[in-house]
C-alpha cells in the first residue's frame, strides 16, 4: 500500500543577491508527512537541478536544532507553527493536504538578505565578540565543587546558555530587537561567579554593539519569547537592563 502524500503549494522567496529585487515563486510538491521541512526543500532543489534550474538557496548545518542556522519564516512565523522547535525539526505532518505555505527569510535591517532564504546574521557574532572574555586561572582542571553554585542558579545560567543564536527573536519582533539574544548571552555569565569580574563592562559593551549593528529597541510584546525555539525567558532582558543601569552608575554616567 502506497503512502499517502500531502499535495502542497509553496510560495518561496527568491532573490538573487542583496541588491536585487525579490519575489515569491510558486512550486507544487507531493511530499510524505514524515519528511522534515528542510528535506522537503531538498526534494524541490533536486527537481530544479534535474531541470537545469537554479536551486533555492537556504542555510542549514546540524539539522538537530542546535546550530541555529536554519531559520525561516513560515506562514508569517519564525521557524513555523510548532512552538519550541527550529525549522530543521519541523515536519510536514504539521500541515494539511492542499495547504499553501509561504516561506521567506528572516526580515530585519540587521539581517540583510544574501540570496533567497539566506540572511547575514554575523551581526550577532559581532555582539558576542564585544562581550569579551571571562577571567579564569589557567592550569589544570579545577575541582568541580571548588566554587559553590546553587542548583537553581546553575540551572538558570544553563537555560540562558541554551540560546542557539538563530535570530528568531529578531524576526519575531516588530522592532527587530535583539534584546532576548543579547540578554541571554549576558545572563549566562552574569549568573555565575566566573562572570563577575567583567560583568558590567560586558553588558555595556554588548548593548553598545547591539545598537551599532542596527537592531531596534524592545517594547515588551513578548513575541521574542513566544517564537524562541529554546524557550529563552524574557527575565533575561530585565536582568540585562538592571546590569546596564548598574554599569552606568559605576561609570557615573547617570544623575541621581
Q: What share of the chain is helix, strand, coil (3-state, %, to 5)?
A: 35, 15, 50
Higher pLDDT among residues 189 and 141, named by residue = 189
Instruction: Give the largest CA-CA distance in the chain.
Output: 76
User: Quick one: DSSP state of residue 22?
Assistant: P
6-14 sheet: strands from edge to edge: 23-31, 6-14, 100-104, 73-74, 77-78
For residue range 99-125, list pLDDT tens digits in order.
999 999 999 999 999 999 999 999 999
Residue 161 CA to residue 159 CA, distance in Å, equals 5
What is the CATH architecture assignment of 123-250? Orthogonal Bundle (1.10)
Q: Which of 136, 135, 32, 137 is nearest to 92 (CA)?
A: 32
Cα angle value 8/9/10 (rounded, 5°): 115
User: Quick one: DSSP state of residue 193?
Assistant: G
Domain with CATH 1.10.1060.10 in the chain: 123-250
For residue range 51-84, list pLDDT tens digits in order.
999 999 999 999 999 999 999 999 999 999 999 9
For residue range 148-183, list pLDDT tens digits in order.
889 999 999 999 999 999 999 999 999 999 999 999
Residues facing 24 on adjacent strands: 13
Strands (E), 48-112: 73-74, 77-78, 100-104
Helix (H) or strand (E) holding 199: helix 199-212
**Taking the model in full, what pTM does it have?**
0.92
Question: What's the CATH code, domain 6-114?
Answer: 3.10.20.30
**Quick one: pLDDT band at residue 220, thresholds 50, 70, 90?**
very high
User: Quick one: DSSP state of residue 65?
Assistant: S
Domain with CATH 3.10.20.30 in the chain: 6-114
Residue 253 pLDDT > 60, yes or no?
Answer: no
Q: Note the residue count of the chain.
A: 256
Please state, in angstroms and as integers, the Cα–Cα distance from residue 206 to each residue in 73, 119, 131, 189, 196, following that order: 26, 21, 5, 13, 15
Residue 131 near residue 41, CB atoms below 8 Å: no
Amino acid at each position: 500500500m502506497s503512502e499517502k502524500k500531502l499535495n502542497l503549494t509553496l510560495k518561496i522567496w527568491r532573490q538573487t543577491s542583496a541588491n536585487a529585487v525579490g519575489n515569491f515563486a510558486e512550486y507544487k510538491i507531493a511530499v510524505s508527512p514524515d519528511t522534515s521541512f528542510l528535506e522537503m526543500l531538498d526534494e524541490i532543489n533536486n527537481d530544479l537541478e534535474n531541470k537545469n534550474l537554479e536551486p533555492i538557496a537556504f542555510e542549514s548545518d546540524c539539522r538537530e536544532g542546535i546550530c541555529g542556522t536554519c531559520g525561516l519564516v513560515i506562514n508569517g512565523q519564525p521557524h513555523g507553527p510548532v512552538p519550541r522547535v527550529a525549522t530543521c525539526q519541523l515536519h510536514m505532518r504539521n500541515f494539511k493536504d492542499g495547504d499553501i505555505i509561504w516561506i521567506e527569510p528572516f526580515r530585519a535591517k540587521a539581517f540583510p538578505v544574501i540570496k533567497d532564504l539566506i540572511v547575514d546574521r554575523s551581526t550577532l557574532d559581532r555582539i558576542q565578540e564585544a562581550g569579551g572574555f571571562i577571567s579564569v586561572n589557567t592550569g589544570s582542571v579545577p575541582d568541580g565543587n571548588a566554587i559553590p553554585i546553587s542548583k537553581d542558579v546553575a540551572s538558570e545560567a544553563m537555560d540562558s546558555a541554551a540560546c542557539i543564536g538563530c535570530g528568531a527573536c529578531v524576526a519575531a519582533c516588530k522592532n527587530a530587537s535583539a534584546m532576548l539574544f543579547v540578554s541571554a548571552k549576558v545572563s549566562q555569565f552574569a549568573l555565575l561567579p566566573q562572570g563577575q569580574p567583567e560583568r558590567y563592562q560586558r553588558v555595556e559593551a554588548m548593548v553598545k554593539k547591539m545598537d551599532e549593528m542596527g537592531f531596534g529597541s524592545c517594547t515588551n510584546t513578548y513575541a521574542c519569547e513566544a517564537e524562541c525555539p529554546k524557550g529563552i525567558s524574557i527575565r533575561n532582558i530585565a536582568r540585562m537592563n538592571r546590569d546596564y543601569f548598574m554599569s552606568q552608575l559605576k561609570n557615573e554616567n547617570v544623575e541621581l
